[in-house]
Amino acid sequence: MAQTVAQPTATSPVLPAALPLKAIAPWAAFFGILMLVLLYFVGAEQGATAVVSGEGVHEWVHDARHLLGFPCH
Ligand SMILES: [Zn+2]
């Protein structure tokens, strides 16, 4: 029974190509704005700071509001 043993080579490991900043920047801005809007609706959409009248949005995010420690009622 013949067995072959792989010989280690002296090559460097293959690294993934770095992503250019110009490709990431629009997506980072988009998700940053999206997260700010979400943070507003969870943290401040109530009473005097409410953009949407009524309690609909507040009730939708009410549990998240308490989970994140924002003051509520
Ligand atoms: Zn509450």
**Residues 7-57: pLDDT tens digits?**
666 666 788 888 888 889 999 999 999 999 998 888 888 777 778 787 788
Residue 65 has pLDDT above 70, yes or no: yes
Longest alpha-carbon distance in the chain: 82
Collect contacts of 5-9 with beta carbons under 8 A, ≥24 apart. Answer: none
pLDDT value of position 10: 64
Q: How many A from CA of 13 to the centre of ligand 1?
A: 53
Q: How many A from CA of 53 to the centre of ligand 1?
A: 17
Q: How many A from CA of 73 to the centre of ligand 1?
A: 5
pLDDT value of position 16: 81
